[in-house]
Amino acid sequence: MPWQSLRFLVDSRTAEPLSDALMDAGALSVALEDADAGTVDETPLFGEPDHPTAELWQRSIAVVLFDRDADVAAILAEAAQAIGVPAPTHTSVDIVADEDWVRLTQSQFDPIPISPRLWIVPTWHTAPDADAINLKLDPGLAFGTGSHPTTRLCLAWLDAHLQGGETLLDYGCGSGILAIAAAKLGARQVDGIDIDPQAVTASNDNAALNAVSARFGLPGALPDQVYDVVVANILTNPLKAMAPLLAGKVRRGGRMVLSGILTEQAGEVMAIYQQWFVFDPPASDEGWVRLAGTRK
């Protein structure tokens, strides 16, 4: 059965009460997205240690799903009236066709080559090269399937630079893909940290799926040690705010790899970290940048 889908802008003051009112009025679901995602104004929703953030984005896009026969305008008017705000403006309602969502999702994810010897392979595929280092990873609740440019950039760096025997910290581990790759590439100790408990769970599950040893936890579980390599593939704002914390986890002569950075943001991130690191030339992919530096 098809559904009706509607998207509209909403501010932080109205987003949550309007979402609740829409559900009470008959909407099937309401999801909120950062209206500034992918721009310099993108804002992390979760806080990091010593870096409080707003509870919600200043500008969100509400994505609302309705039954096929629902009166969308009437539901919007009822929800807005319930919380005393004007009804959201919208231009059109899209029809969402019924699909075999599992098969459709799987069809969008093929094995991804990072290098001749390193592949990311969803579990429903056969590895194209059985002799390669194959990371088994399925799309899930946590970020990091290898399809995003920032993940590919970080994986390529690990593939090119890890010699074996390193200690490595993956800060903002998401699915655990970078930590798992490091373990498969020979790192002797791999730790991963994320602020999202679902990411920690996904990382542990993926490590077990790939038969590697790695420790994952929330920020409070961060080991009190320095590492040969620290990788942080998150967003520019938390990277800037956590610079002292992340820099302090890299041993002198060790390496830092930063990504989740738009091309136009690279200079300001480097300017902050240059007090601790000497940077290699940036690498870029589809408007995203990876920075790699050596601890002074």
pLDDT at 51: 44
- Specify which of 117-121, 123-127, 134-138, 187-191 reaches the highest per-range mean pLDDT: 187-191
Of the candidates 150, 204, 149, which has an alpha carbon nearest to the alpha carbon of residue 180?
204
Domain locations in the chain? 3-98, 106-295
- Percentage of the chain beyond pLDDT 90 is 62
Record the tokens describing residue 138, joined without a space. Answer: 């399925």
3-state secondary structure at position 139: coil
Do residues 38 and 61 lie in contact, with contact meaning Cβ atoms separated by under 8 Å? no
Residue bearing tokens 């098809």: 2
Q: Residue 98 corresponds to which amino acid?
A: D
Q: What is the pLDDT of residues 1-12, one digit of tens each?
A: 688 889 999 988
Give pLDDT, residue 99.
Answer: 53
Provide the 8-state DSSP code for 48: B
Burial track 57-83 (b if 16+ CB lie within 10 A, e otherwise): beebbbebbbeeebebeebbebbbeee
Name the CATH superfamily, with its identifier, for domain 106-295.
Vaccinia Virus protein VP39 (3.40.50.150)
**H or E element that contains 126:** none
User: Do 3-98 and 106-295 have matching folds?
Assistant: no
CATH 3.30.70 fits 3-98, yes or no: yes
pTM of the model: 0.69
How many angstroms separate the first and last alpha carbons of the chain?
Answer: 60
Band (106; pLDDT cuts 50, 70, 90): low
pLDDT at 12: 84
